[in-house]
Amino acid sequence: MRALTFEPGSEGTLDVREVPDPRRGQGELLVEGLTVGICGTDRELIGAGYGWPPPGEERMVIGHESLGRVLEAPDGSAFSPGELVAGVVRRPDPVPCGACARGEFDMCRNGGYTERGIKELDGFASERWTVEAGYAVKVERSLESVGALVEPASVVAKAWEQIERIGARSWFEPRTLLVTGAGPIGLLAALLGRQRGLEVHVLDRSGPGLKSSLVEGIGATYHSGSSLAEFAEAKPDLIIECTGAGPLVIDAMTTTAAAGIVCLCGLASGGRSHRVDAGVINRDIVLENDVVFGTVNGNLRHYRDAAAALAKADLAWLERLITRRVPLTRALEAFEPAGHDNVKTVIDLTA
Ligand SMILES: [Zn+2]
């Protein structure tokens, strides 16, 4: 079968090649790969910035945003041939730490976890793959065109769960949400905010175009810009920061209403310094009972929440998030830089 593989640590090694068919182990599903989504992590991986091959191997199958169709399932499992599934990315560390031992491997304390397509486990960008039944999540058949969004949506579902758990420390009825960055994570965070009945604002550098149209399409308000100055008066109750841009991260900390929550989902590249008044930030957070927290990854519960959130959303809107579909035969094109109006690129593993 064909798979999209690369050599972690070596730039320019990504290619489509023949690899042995996977063999279904005990308790595993055999799955026909349908699509994989491509994100910034994949671009870092092929740029040799990141990634570890399976032990004893030099190459690894890439791809962690998966959607496939079950070909074979173990007797007595909850899965049947023909059903759509997404595979969970992370596996608990073998020790395991206290979090991993409780199924909270997204919160692993010792970094000993492994990840499909990223860290020591083959990814999902192949014509067939296997997954343990306990790390597969059912996806409604109606979501076949957009099911690769389950993984990015799981990151967002976890962010929302964490926000709600933090909010539960006291009276919590947020009304307004600001999302910074209108990439796939930001747009999905805005969608889940609208599903919770919030007034949602999305800030992005892009001018009017697909992103503003997508934001307006869920009844949220689009703001084109690169500063939070316009939110200094009517401060939002919640901010989900998805850009990792230093000045936005810093400004977010002082731009929430009292008891505000800032959720950091974006990743900064580092290497740039910004002059900040630490005293102002300190006073704002303390005197307003604010919380600033970071979040990454998701566990099984978050994947299920994500699949449910996508099933509730407007399918035509989700389809507009996927702006490029590249056949596996031309998979390298999926990694070429795309313009501002590109949101999500997926590789069609059946073409
Ligand atoms: Zn762990």
CA of 301 to the centre of ligand 1 (A): 17
pLDDT at residue number 50:
85
How far apart are the CA of 119 and the centre of ligand 1, in A? 14
Closest CA to 155 of 343, 309, 327: 309
pLDDT category of residue 149 using cuts at 50, 70 and 90:
very high
pLDDT over 90 at 272, yes or no: no
Q: Which residue(s) pair with 176 in the sheet?
A: 199
User: What is the CB-side half-sphere exposure of residue 324 using CA atoms within 13 A?
Assistant: 24
Q: Report the pLDDT value the prediction gives residue 279, as an integer from 0 to 100.
A: 97
**CA of residue 95 to ligand 1 center, whole Å:** 7
pLDDT band for 310, please (50, 70, 90 cuts): very high
CA-to-CA distance for 282 and 272, rounded, in angstroms? 21
Judged against a pLDDT cut of 80, whether residue 339 lies above it is answered with no
Q: How far is the CA of 300 from the centre of ligand 1 (A)?
A: 15
Distance 91 CA to ligand 1 centre (A): 9
Residue 20: asked if its preceding bond is cis (omega within 30°), the reply is no
Residue 172 CA to residue 308 CA, distance in Å, equals 24
Say how many Å lie between the CA of residue 308 and the centre of ligand 1.
Answer: 27
- Region 68-83: what's the mean pLDDT? 97
Q: Nearest 5°: phi and psi at 286? A: -70, -50
248 CA distance to ligand 1 middle (Å): 31
pLDDT at 139: 98
- Tell me the CA–centroid distance for residue 11 and ligand 1, in Å: 29
Lowest-pLDDT range, 47-56, 185-194, 305-314?
Answer: 47-56
Name the nearest CA neighbour of 128 among 48, 254, 214, 18: 18
Task: Give yes or no for residue 338 having a pLDDT over 80.
Answer: no
CA distance between the termini of the chain: 12
What's the CA-to-centroid distance between 20 and ligand 1, angstroms?
A: 31
pTM strictly above 0.85: yes
- Predicted confidence (pLDDT) per residue in 160-217, tens digit: 999 999 999 999 999 999 999 999 999 999 999 999 999 999 999 999 999 999 999 9
Instruction: Compute the average pLDDT of residues 39-49.
Output: 91
Distance 107 CA to ligand 1 centre (A): 7
Ligand 1 centroid vs 84 CA: distance in angstroms? 29
Tell me, in angstroms, the distance from the centre of ligand 1 to residue 326's CA.
35
pLDDT (tens digit, 9 = 90+) per residue, 249-271?
999 999 999 999 999 999 888 88
Burial 94-125 (b: 16+ CB within 10 A, else e): eebbebbeeebbbbbeeeebbbbbbbbbbbbb
Measure 160 CA to ligand 1 centroid, in angstroms: 22
Give the distance (Å) from ligand 1 centre to CA of residue 114.
Answer: 10
